[in-house]
Amino acid sequence: MRVIYLLAITLVIQSCAAQNILKLPVNKDNNTLLWEVSGKGLKQPSYLFGTFHILCKDDIQFSANLQTALKASNQVYFEMDLDDPKNTLGGMFFMNMKDKTLADLYTVEELQKVTKFYKDSLKMNLSYFNKMKPMMLAALLYPRMMPCKTPSGIEIELMTIAKKEKKEILGFETIEFQSSIFDSIPYGVQAKDLLKNIDSLNKYKVYFNKMVQTYKNQQTDSLVAIVNDKTFSDGENNDALLKNRNLNWVKQLNTILPKTNIFMAVGAAHLFGKDGLIDLLRKDGYTVKPIVNKLK
């Protein structure tokens, strides 16, 4: 069955070769993470894919339609250019707070709790990371919530394919800009959230695993509900983390899309909802359609 499906995709590509326009099957509902962006005078469609930044490596698989869309695109865009050493090797510099240390944010007892937790659970001596932004420290908890020892990133796996296909890799943001987002959220708020994560780690593990499973099943409405669950997020920072960035990306896309067709892969939380990329692109006059993204 899989061979027949792949053959069908190949025939679709061949039949459209003369027109140089790729046509992929439209999904019957919105439960997909792969979307086509067309209309508004675009000569070729571009593609939008929602990622999950960290998954077990064995869970990261790409459908034939997704790989076809990536290969048919001239450029690959991530949130940040992961192929630029300034955005990767320079990341450690921007992980630190500007004018605070963890000791400034916690009481003596709270700091002892956080320090002990990282030492016991992650074998990490916080004295070497006493200026790291609490949100960055919180991100280090995710691998501990996963049922595997080999986590990877969807973006990393996509970049491997993109490089193999000799695609140009670009990004909507720089490491400096992303760092400024975390600086815009008060360090005290970040510290409070980190402590809450540690105190409720088992609950967060259940929440995280539910979010992973919902993502893998491409249940988009449920995914939005989980991301907005006020038990784990009050949504206070959604403008900084999601809405404002989406608006900035759409502004860039209005310049990029008329020039070339691209494959863009960004966190799935950026796609959906009234401030998500899908609705924002539609409001700007584009046609955004769900594309079949099943593995079989």
pLDDT digits (tens, 9 = 90+) for 73-86: 999 999 999 888 77
Is 29 domain-assigned? no
Tokens for 205, please give them.
Answer: 């593990």
Is 268 domain-assigned? yes
Tokens for 85, please give them.
Answer: 């050493």
Domain that holds residue 138: 40-285
Angle CA(207)–CA(213)–CA(218) in degrees, nearest 5? 125
Cα–Cα distance measured from residue 68 to residue 63, given in angstroms and rounded to the nearest whole number? 9
Residue 278's nearest CA partner among 24, 26, 47 is 47
254 near 40, Cβ under 8 Å?
A: no
Between the alpha carbon of residue 110 and those of residues 13, 116, 192, 208, 244, the distances in Å are 59, 10, 10, 24, 33
Cα–Cα distance measured from residue 270 to residue 77, given in angstroms and rounded to the nearest whole number? 14
Is 197 domain-assigned? yes
Give the pLDDT confidence score for residue 18 in this predicted structure. Answer: 33
Give the pLDDT confidence score for residue 286 in this predicted structure. Answer: 98
Look-up: residue for tokens 């679709």?
12
Cα–Cα distance measured from residue 138 to residue 129, given in angstroms and rounded to the nearest whole number? 13
Cα–Cα distance measured from residue 79 to residue 95, given in angstroms and rounded to the nearest whole number? 17
Is 213 domain-assigned? yes
Residues of the chain with pLDDT under 70: 1-21, 88-92, 230-236, 296
Give the pLDDT confidence score for residue 90 in this predicted structure. Answer: 61
Give the pLDDT confidence score for residue 14 in this predicted structure. Answer: 36
Q: At what angle do helices 64-72 and 154-164 cross, to 10 degrees?
A: 50
pTM of the model: 0.87
284 near 254, Cβ under 8 Å?
A: yes
Is 296 domain-assigned? no
Tokens for 240, please give them.
Answer: 């900084």
Is 10 domain-assigned? no
Measured in Å, how far apart are the chain's first and last C-alpha atoms? 8
Is 5 domain-assigned? no
Is 273 domain-assigned? yes
73 near 167, Cβ under 8 Å?
A: yes
Q: Domain tally for the chain?
A: 1
Q: DSSP string spanning 70-137?
A: HHH-SEEEEEE-TT-HHHHTTHHHHTB-SS--HHHHS-HHHHHHHHHHHHHHH---GGGGTTB-HHHH
Give the pLDDT confidence score for residue 145 in this predicted structure. Answer: 84
